Structure 1
Amino acid sequence: MALAIVQQFLEELPPSLQWPVHICAYTTVACYVLSVITGNVSQVDRIWTFMPTIYTAYFALLPFWPKTSLLPLFPYTPEDVLPAARQNYSPRALLMLGLTMVWMFRLSYNTWRRGLFNLHDEDYRWAVLRQRIPTWFFQVVNITFIAAIQNVILLLLGIPTYFAVFQQPTQLATSDYILAALALIDLTLEFTADNQQYSYQTYKHTGVLPATEWPFANLNWTAADLKRGFVTRGLWAWSRHPNFLCEQTFWIIITLFPILSPESPRLAPLSTSAITPIWPLAPALVLCTLFFSSTIFTESISLSKYPEGYRAYQKRVAMFIPFLTPAWGFLLQLQGKKAEVDELVYGENVPKIKGKDE
C-alpha cells in the first residue's frame, strides 16, 4: 500500500521535479543506512554543504542535461518538460546558481577546517540528544527527522531556482541585482562570523591562534574570553548566533528572487496548486523553523555548561537580530543590572568555567 502511494506521488510530480525527488529519496535511504552501520548520524551534515547546489544546478541547467539518464542517477531533462524551460537558460536561475556556489564554497571550507568531513566525526548535539531520550525514540528521530526531513529541506532549498527557471526572464531585473548584492554582503558577514568563532575555538583548545588569520577574526583574545568558555566579541557581541542569522538570511534572499521579480506571481507549473500563496515561501519558512528549533536545543546545551555566564549572555545579546541587542542593554540599564551582566558577558573578572563551547 505504501509503495503504491509513493509510486502514485512520483507519477503525479511535474517532470522537472522527478529527478530531484528521486535523488532526495536515494540520499535519504543512504544516509539512514550509513548512520545505522556506522553508529554516526551526521551523514546529512556532510552532504549539507553541496546538495542544495546540486539541486539548484539541476534546475538552472535544464537545457544542458540529456533527454535520458546516461548512467544510474545521472541528471536528465524529460522531454515533457515545458519547451521554454527545456530550451532556454534563465539568467535569474544562473545568477542564483552562482550565489549558491559561493555559499557552498564558504560552508565546505568551514566544515573541512573543523574536521566535520571526517567520517568518524559526529555533531556533538546528537550525542547529547542520545542521552536525553530513549534509544528507540532516537532511532525514530533518526529515520524521520535526521535522515528524511533534513534531506527534504535540502531539496526545498533548490525550489526557488525551479520557480526562476519557469518564469523565463529575458534579462535580469533590478530586484535581481539588489538581492545578489545583499546575498554577497550576507555571505561575507557569515564568513566573518565563522572565522571569529574558529579563531576563538582554536585559541581556546590549543592556546595557539590559527596559522592563517582572516580579516576581522583576530580579536586579541584575553584570559577572560577563555575563562568564559564561549565567544562574545566581534559579531558575536551583537548576535548570539550571527552565523545562523546569516544562513537563514541567505536562503530568505534566494527565496525572494522569483517572488520579487517582475514576472511574479507567474512562478511555475505548481502555481495552479491550492497551496500557491505559501508554497513559494516554503524554503525560507521551513529552514528558519529548523534553525530556530535547533538553536533552542543548542542553547540549552550551552546553558547547562555555563549556567551563569550563558544566562547573562542571553539577557544581554539578542538570539539573532542585532538591532535588538541595544534594546536588551537599555532594559537592563533600567533594571540597574547592566553593569553586572556586562561584566559576566564582556568583562575581565569572569569566574573560570570549564567546558566546551557550542
Structure 2
Amino acid sequence: MLLDPLLSYFPPEYHWPVQFCTFTTVATYIASLVTSNVSQVDRVWTFLPTIYTAYFALLPLFPNTQPFFLFPYTPKELDVPNELSPRAVLMLALVVTWMSRLSYNTWRRGLFSLKDEDYRWAVLRQKIPPWLFQVLNLTFIATIQNMLLLYIAVPTAIASVYQSRAPLTVTDYALAALTLVDLALEFTADNQQYAFHAYKHAILAADKGDTSVPAYDLAQQWPGARLNWVPADARRGFVTRGLWAYVRHPNFACEQTFWWLITLFPVLPPHTGAPPLSLKAIINAPSTWVMLSRLWPLFPGVALSLLFYSSTPFTESISVSKYPEAYAAYQARVAMFKPWDTWFKGLMLEQKGPLKRKEVERLVWGAEEKKE
C-alpha cells in the first residue's frame, strides 16, 4: 500500500487511525479549495475524535486484515485480548456524550451547512496575503487540526492496549463523575450563549422596527439559560452573565477540562500496565528528552490547551475591534479561562480605587451588577 512506509513508523495500534487521518486531511484540504471555504475541518470536528476513540475502544472486534482501504482492522502484530477494556469503553461512552452535546450545538447554530465558514477565517483573510492564507490552510487548518483530532484519542489507545484487562477503579468512577459535571457546565455555557444571541437579535430588531424577527421567548430556552437579560445586555453586544460572568470563555475552559480528564484516565494510579508516568521517574530522568518521553501520555491534554491559548487571543481581538471599550473592560475584570483569576482581577481593580472598579463593572454588567 502507498501508506505502508509511513505506517511503519507507528506502533500497530495507530496504523488504521494514521491511514484514516491522512485521508481526512487530504479530503478536507481539497474540499476547502473546491468550495473556497476552509471550515470543512470544523464540520467533522465533532465526529473524528469519537471515530478514533471508538476504534481504540473496540479493537478486539475488528478483523486482522483490511478488506479494502479505510476499513478498520486490528493488525496481526497487535496482541490484544478478545475482551474489551472496561476503561476504554467507559472513555468511549463519555466521548460519545461529548459528541452529542457538540453536534447539537453545531446543528442549531447552522454550522453543518456547507456554505457556512467560521467568521474568524474571513477576518484573517483580510489581514494576511492570499498565498500565506493558503499556506496556513494546508499546514494548520487541514493538517495540524486533523492530527490533533487523532491525538486527543490517544489516551483511549493506552487504556485499550496497555490496560486491556485492568478493572475499573474508584479513580475511574471519580473521573467519570467529574467529566459529566464538566459536560453539564459546558452544555449550560452553550445554552446561555445561544439564549443571549436570541435575545440580542430580538431586541436589536425591535430597536430598528424590524418585525420579521420573532420576540424572545424565555420558555424556549434550556434550564440554566433562562437568565434575566435586559436591553443593555443586547446593546453591549456580547454575553457577560451566567457562567460568562466568571470566565470570558466558559465553553472553551470546559472543553479543555474534558480532554484533560480523558487524558488522565489511563495515567492516574492505581492503574497498572500503563506506560511509565511517575513523579520519581520524571525527576530522576537523565535528560530533558527522557523526561519528556516519560511525560508523553499527558501531551494530548497539553496539545489541546496550546490550541486554545494560542487561538483565543485572536478571537478576542475581533471582539475588541467590534466593542473596544466594553470588551476591554470585560478583559480587565473577567479571566479568560480560570475563574479564580476573576477574583484576583477584581482585587487588583479595587487597589486602583473603588471608583475604577465600579466603572469597569458598569461597562461589563451594568450599574447594579457586581461579581466576585
Question: 1:126 aligned to 2:126?
Answer: no
SS in 1 for 2:265: helix
For residue 276 of structure 1, report the CA deviation from its aligned partner. 2.8
For residue 88 of structure 1, report the CA deviation from its aligned partner. 2.5
2:268 alignment counterpart = 260
SS in 1 for 2:266: helix
CA distance in 2, matches of 1:83, 1:332: 57
SS in 1 for 2:156: helix
Q: Deviations over 1:128-183 (max 9, x none)?
A: 01011000000000000000000000000110000001222431011101100000
Question: 1:83 aligned to 2:80?
Answer: yes
**Residue type at the aligned position of 2:186:** E
Question: 1:60 aligned to 2:67?
Answer: no
User: Which runs of 5 or more residues in structure 1 are unaligned?
Assistant: 351-358
Q: Among 317, 322, 327, which residue is 1:305 paired with?
A: 322
**Residue type at the aligned position of 1:17:** Y
For residue 196 of structure 1, report the CA deviation from its aligned partner. 0.1
Contact 1:169 1:263 in 2 (8 A): no
SS in 2 for 1:109: helix
TM-aligned CA distance change 1:223 to 1:83, over 3 Å: closer
Question: 1:201 aligned to 2:197?
Answer: yes
- Structure 1 runs (4+) deviating above 6 angstroms are none
TM-aligned CA distance change 1:217 to 1:12, over 3 Å: same
Q: Among 177, 186, 190, which residue is 1:190 paired with?
A: 186
Contact 2:60 2:80 in 1 (8 A): no
Contact 1:35 1:43 in 2 (8 A): yes
**Residue type at the aligned position of 2:8:** E
CA distance in 2, matches of 1:170, 1:257: 12
Percent of matched pairs sharing the same residue: 58
For residue 338 of structure 1, report the CA deviation from its aligned partner. 0.6
2:177 alignment counterpart = 181
Contact 1:173 1:261 in 2 (8 A): no
1:283 alignment counterpart = 300
The 5-angstrom pairing of residues 246-257 of structure 1 reads 246-257=254-265
Q: Deviations over 1:248-273 (max 9, x none)?
A: 000000000011042356339xxxx9
Q: Deviations over 1:21-43 (max 9, x none)?
A: 00000000000000000000000
RMSD of aligned residue pairs (Cα, Å): 2.0
**Residue type at the aligned position of 2:238:** F
For residue 71 of structure 1, report the CA deviation from its aligned partner. 4.0
For residue 227 of structure 1, report the CA deviation from its aligned partner. 1.0
Q: May I ask how many residue pairs the two structures share in their alignment?
A: 341
For residue 279 of structure 1, report the CA deviation from its aligned partner. 1.4
CA distance in 2, matches of 1:280, 1:8: 25
CA distance in 1, matches of 2:273, 2:135: 39
Question: 1:227 aligned to 2:239?
Answer: no
Q: Among 347, 354, 357, which residue is 1:338 paired with?
A: 357
CA distance in 2, matches of 1:232, 1:178: 31
For residue 70 of structure 1, report the CA deviation from its aligned partner. 3.8
Contact 2:41 2:141 in 1 (8 A): yes
Contact 1:164 1:267 in 2 (8 A): no
CA distance in 2, matches of 1:332, 1:263: 46
CA distance in 1, matches of 2:233, 2:195: 12
For residue 292 of structure 1, report the CA deviation from its aligned partner. 0.8
Question: 1:347 aligned to 2:366?
Answer: yes
CA distance in 1, matches of 2:73, 2:30: 26
The 5-angstrom pairing of residues 152-163 of structure 1 reads 152-163=147-158
SS in 2 for 1:258: coil
1:245 alignment counterpart = 253
For residue 220 of structure 1, report the CA deviation from its aligned partner. 1.9
CA distance in 1, matches of 2:366, 2:270: 51
Greater alpha carbon shift after TM alignment, 196-205 vs 120-129: 196-205
Q: Deviations over 1:211-264 (max 9, x none)?
A: 721011021211110111000000000000000000000000000001104235
Contact 1:92 1:169 in 2 (8 A): no
Q: Among 30, 35, 38, which residue is 2:35 paired with?
A: 38
CA distance in 2, matches of 1:212, 1:127: 32
